[in-house]
Structure 1
Amino acid sequence: MLKQVEERLNHHQPRIVGTQLPEAAVLIPITDSPEPELVFTRRATHMSTHSGEVAFPGGKRDPSDKDLIDTALRESYEEVGLPMEKVRVIGQTGSVVSRFGLEVTPIIGIIDANTPLKANMDELDRIFKVPVRYFLDESHITFNHWKLKDQDYMMPSFYYQDYLIWGLTAVMLVEFLNITLDADIALDAPQFHSHYLRQRA
């Protein structure tokens, strides 16, 4: 599975969002194990934004970050204690726009399954892993109606144990699965209909 993921990303040309919005990046960490897993976090309930929501580790780009890969790795270290040198970056998927006005770029990285992780309790209350194959089972996908500026959308979401994976995190997850593992999950999200999307030259 990981070999196919890496090969697909190596040949993928990520979509670029043509905005002047502040930049952010998340890391989509995949464990290097016989049954690869994805690492997720749950935001602490006291946070002013995204409280209680499931997310990939990540955040806004700092002026000192040399690029968005640096942003994703730095934020992952700050949030879950994942050492930058323990991540093998293998590519990225298309940028998306959050409801808070950030241009978010997903960075894909492989980590050792035994890498110890520790939640920064100032920002998170949980770190958990989900087998990649779980998301490839159609019975685990739910589509919810969502309306934005008089336009209707059907947005994917997943329930895993006590966790709900939805919103922008689900959008980034599904695009990753579609690109790398032929998931063929419908992705009718606002980010893919807006006039500011353009392809990388």
Structure 2
Amino acid sequence: MSVPPALARLASALSDPAVRGGLANRSPTFGGSRSAVLVLLSDAQDPTVVFTERARTLRHHGGQVSFPGGRAEPGDPDALSTATREAREEVGLDPRAVHLIATLPMSTLAVSQFDVIPVVGWWHPDRELEPVDPREVASVRIWPVSALADPRNRVRARHPGRTLGPAWQLDELFIWGFTAFLTQTLLRLGGWESPWDEDRVVDVPPRFRSPERQDQSPA
């Protein structure tokens, strides 16, 4: 199935080997737990992006905003299968509704020791997504790229002992870490990014740091 017009620029960029080669923001060790996340956009003129607010009781990245996804299982033949299976288990997404745009290079999250493969796909929303198990996902958040590109929602995240990184303040939520890196890449490659005040620095709120380790970066 052809890529929707609004996503054509993103798809073209992600098919370019030179672009793909510069996307991994952390050198993979290939020794951690294999996992995948699903960066899912809609086919609308102003495409939406699906995020989840993780339950605060989770061991890894509890309370943080992330893309649907998780650890690979032995029966998963590839990263797309892992990402869509996890999305089904977390938010009730039918894997058959997802159309692959690209599978991105693996990155390693040093603190949690996950080797993460981002999977970018699109779908035509025909039903509402909601948490399947509140013990895993507290809420499903869907924002249009216009809101993500709005300079008023963008900040840089400051965390003790870490370099400044991209971040978003949306509603009462704070997006930072690896999720923010992927979101920024999405906007840039899709042609949606607008100039914003990069001198606007905000400390990562305690609520969005992992409960078990306050110095941890999110998936």
Q: TM-score, normalised by structure 2?
A: 0.75
Residue correspondence of structure 1 range 24-103 to structure 2 within 5 A: 24-98=35-109, 99-103=111-115
CA distance in 2, matches of 1:117, 1:156: 27
2:129 is aligned with what amino acid? L
| Corresponding position of 1:166 | 176
2:116 is matched with 104
Residue 126 (structure 1) aligned with residue 131 (structure 2): no
User: Would the aligned equivalents of 1:9 and 1:180 in 2 still touch at CA under 8 Å?
Assistant: no
Q: Deviations over 1:61-104 (max 9, x none)?
A: 11111111111111111111111100001113333222201111
Which residue of structure 2 lines up, in the alignment, with residue 13 of structure 1?
20
Percent identical pairs in the alignment equals 27
1:175 aligns with 2:185: yes
Deviations 1:15-67 (A, max 9, x none): 56441222110000101112211011111122222221111000011111111
Letter of the 1:141 counterpart? R
SS at match of 2:164: strand
Structure 1 range deviating more: 107-116 or 33-42? 107-116
In the alignment, the residues of structure 2 paired with residue 133 and residue 183 of structure 1 have an alpha-carbon distance, to the nearest angstrom, of 9
Matched AA of 1:10: S
Between Structure 1 and Structure 2, which shows a larger proportion of strand residues?
1
User: TM-score, length-normalised on structure 1?
Assistant: 0.81
Q: 1:111 deviation in Å? A: 1.2
Q: For 2:174 and 2:193, how far apart are their aligned partners in 1?
A: 19
Distance in 2, matches of 1:24 and 1:81, equals 19
Q: How many residues align?
A: 183
**CA RMSD of superposed structures (Å):** 2.1
- Between the aligned partners of 1:105 and 1:127, the Cα distance in structure 2 is 21
Q: CA deviation at 1:106?
A: 0.9
Q: Does 1:142 align with 2:147?
A: no
1:133 maps to a residue whose letter is S
CA distance in 2, matches of 1:173, 1:97: 17
Measure the CA separation in 2 of the matches of 1:13 and 1:50.
26
Structure 1 residues 183 and 110, CA, compared in 2 at 3 Å: closer, same or farther? same
The answer for unaligned runs of 5 or more in structure 2 is 1-5, 199-219
For 1:150-161, what aligned pairs fall within 5 Å after superposition?
153-161=163-171
Q: CA deviation at 1:174?
A: 1.3
Counterpart AA for 1:13: R
List runs of 5+ in structure 1 lacking aligned partners: 187-201
1:111-145, Cα deviation, whole Å (9 max, x unpaired): 11333322122311100111112222333211123
Does structure 2 conserve the Cα–Cα contact (< 8 Å) formed by 1:43 and 1:124?
A: yes
CA contact (8 A) 1:145 1:154 kept: yes
Q: CA deviation at 1:182?
A: 6.4
Q: Specify the code of the residue in structure 2 equivalent to 1:140.
A: N
Which whole-Å CA distance do the structure 2 matches of 1:184 and 1:24 have between them? 31
CA distance in 1, matches of 2:9, 2:182: 18
